[in-house]
Amino acid sequence: MIGYFQEIFTGLWSLFVGMSISFKEFFSPVVTVEYPYETVTMAPRFRGHIDLVPDENGATKCVLCMACERACPSGCITIEGEKKEGEKKKTLTLYQLDFTRCSLCGCCVEACNFEAIDFSKEYNLASTRKEDFYFDLLKRLQEKRQ
């Protein structure tokens, strides 16, 4: 009989303790970042999709060694180059990233010995069309230069 009343009492008490906690939380400041209106700054090491890194002249550092293409687990990098007349090395004509398959592992960045690619800080990537995710990185680099 004592146990019966004790249980009712301790039970009620635990409910009041719980309510005191949520009461305290009610008057605590809001912690939400209201996303489209506010944004957080991305961490310096944030791994977005890759981007070509420009050299001093704003041109690409890529020498078409294909190390990134080989390193990529999902085969989402396509590189094409051509040998122009009077030049020793090939020049980059196409650097395409198929972002629909990219899993942001960073293997390509690690594989690159020339620091030609790096992570971008973009995360606002949403679209209704698949084609929007085939990034032509060389074009992006040229646009950035202008």
Partner 1 sequence: MSEPIHLLPDETFVLNVGPQHPATHGVLRIKMRMHGEYVAEAETVLGYIHRMHEKMGELKTYPQFLMNLSRMDYLGALAYCHGHVLVVEKASGIQVPERAEYIRVITVELNRIASHLFGVGSFVMDLGGFSPLMYMLQDREYILDMLEAVTGARLTYCYYRFGGLYNDIDDTFIARARAFIPRCRESLKKYHRLITENIIFRKRLEGNVYLSSEMCRKYGATGGVARASGINFDVRKNEPYSVYPEFNFEVPVFTEGDSMARYKVKMAEIEQSLRIIEQGLDKLPDGPIMPEKAPKIIKPPAGDYYQAVETSKGSFGIRLVSDGSKNPYRLKLRSPSYSNVSLFDEACVGSMIMDAMAFFGSLDLVVPEIDR
Partner 2 sequence: MNFSLTLFNVVVAVIIIVAFVAMNAAYLVWAERRGAGRIQRRPGPNINGPFGLFQPPLDGLKLMAKQLLVPGGADKVLFAAAPVLAMFPAITSFVTIPFSDTLVAHNINVGLLCVFAFAALGSMSILFAGWSSHNKYAMMAAVRAISQSVAYEIPMLITVITVVMISGSLDLREIVRQQSGNIFHWNIFPLLGNSHNLLMPFSFLIFFICSLAETNRAPFDLSEEESVLVAGYHIEYGSMGFGLFFMGEYANIVVGTSLATLLFLGGWACPFGLFPGVWWFLIKVYALIATIIWIRWTFPRSTIYSLLNLSWKILIPLSLVNLLLTAGLLKVF
- Residue ranges in contact with partner 2 by CB under 8 A: 8, 15, 18-19, 21-23, 25-26, 28-32, 34
**CB neighbours (10 Å) of residue 31?**
5
- In the sheet with 77-82, reading across from the earlier edge strand, the strands are 77-82, 91-98, 134-136
Q: Which is nearer to partner 1, 14 or 93 (CB)?
A: 14
Choosing from 6, 21, 55, 83, the residue that interacts with partner 1 (CB under 8 A) is 21
Q: Are 73 and 107 in contact (CB under 8 A)?
A: yes
> Cα(127)–Cα(135) distance, rounded to whole angstroms?
13
**CB neighbours (10 Å) of residue 105?**
13
2 binding partner (options partner 1, partner 2, none; Cβ < 5 to 8 Å by kind): none
10 binding partner (options partner 1, partner 2, none; Cβ < 5 to 8 Å by kind): partner 1
Binding residue count for partner 1, defined by CB under 8 A: 27
Q: Which is nearer to partner 2, 5 or 57 (CB)?
A: 5
> Cα(50)–Cα(109) distance, rounded to whole angstroms?
8
CA proximity to 62, closest of 140, 115, 107: 115
107 binding partner (options partner 2, partner 1, none; Cβ < 5 to 8 Å by kind): partner 1
26 binding partner (options partner 2, partner 1, none; Cβ < 5 to 8 Å by kind): partner 2
> Cα(113)–Cα(65) distance, rounded to whole angstroms?
9
Which residues of the shown chain bind partner 1 in the complex (CB under 8 A)? 7, 10-12, 14-15, 17-18, 21-22, 25, 31, 43-47, 71-73, 103-107, 110, 119
